[in-house]
Structure 1
């Protein structure tokens, strides 16, 4: 059984999309997507919305060339309201 806390820790560690997390954990993307929906509904993570300010909020901004605006997948990050409470997990 997949542990919600493991997925949250991977996101905290820089894994930002469901396909990447599924590959690392050795599970299918649907399982990861379900866990991500739970974490998002609880306010632990948020989807990075692409738009004019996406680069300033992106967790990858230090290493990115700025061309990810054409990325077709989904990227998640720790919610701003929960980043100060990062020791608390679901």
Structure 2
């Protein structure tokens, strides 16, 4: 019997025609946001869909030797961000 230890989703393979997301260093502006969805922490890179104040974005955290690097996507409406999140999970965005 195989016991699955991952309970969060993993990204699908990037599709040949995938959309490239623009990633940037997080703004230093304090925002009240909360992660509402995330990928499994068993991978070196974890993605989070963050929402707050009627806007949303995707946060990407990459584990590195001696630390981690955090990048964020553009801010979208919640509807647009959720569609981008679905595209990210299915390999249609990176």
Asked if these proteins are the same fold (TM beyond 0.5), I'd say no
**Which structure shows the bigger proportion of residues in helix conformation?**
1
Normalising by structure 1, what TM-score?
0.28
Normalising by structure 2, what TM-score?
Answer: 0.27
* Structure with larger Rg: 2
